[in-house]
Amino acid sequence: MYRSRTILACTVLAGLSTGAVAATQVIHQQGRLFSSESVTVKKGDALTFLNDDTIPHNIMSTSKGNEFNLGSQQPGASTDVTFKESGDVTVICAIHPRMKMSVKVVD
């Protein structure tokens, strides 16, 4: 009886710990491109924008409800961006026009 309670308690705790933490996706910037052309995140989740390139980037969005501008992000820098509103978000690099990606934010 004691063993079955211990197993049940461990199973419940393991389920709580994995369900409580949302995984943050990393979007790499390299070769003047994003590592993904499109991603889907839940409202309130974040993406980490990591500059793996040898040059600065300026990642930004003007999509309503999810506006942000990371400014000049130097090589090696990373910044988390939380998406607060549902909808489609266009993300660009203000320095390199071919760097574009879309983020679908779902409830």
| Confidence at residue 24, expressed as pLDDT on a 0 to 100 scale | 83
Q: What integer is the mean pLDDT of 38-62?
A: 97
Q: What integer is the mean pLDDT of 37-44?
A: 97
| Confidence at residue 19, expressed as pLDDT on a 0 to 100 scale | 42
Q: What is the mean pLDDT of the chain?
A: 86
Q: Residue 17 — very low, low, confident or very high, per pLDDT cuts 50/70/90?
A: very low
pLDDT at 36 over 50: yes
* Edge-first strand listing for the sheet containing 100-106: 38-42, 100-106, 87-93, 59-61, 68-69
Domains in the chain, CATH or no CATH each: 24-106 (2.60.40.420)
- Reported residue count of the chain is 107
Q: What is the CA radius of gyration of the chain?
A: 18
| Confidence at residue 10, expressed as pLDDT on a 0 to 100 scale | 44
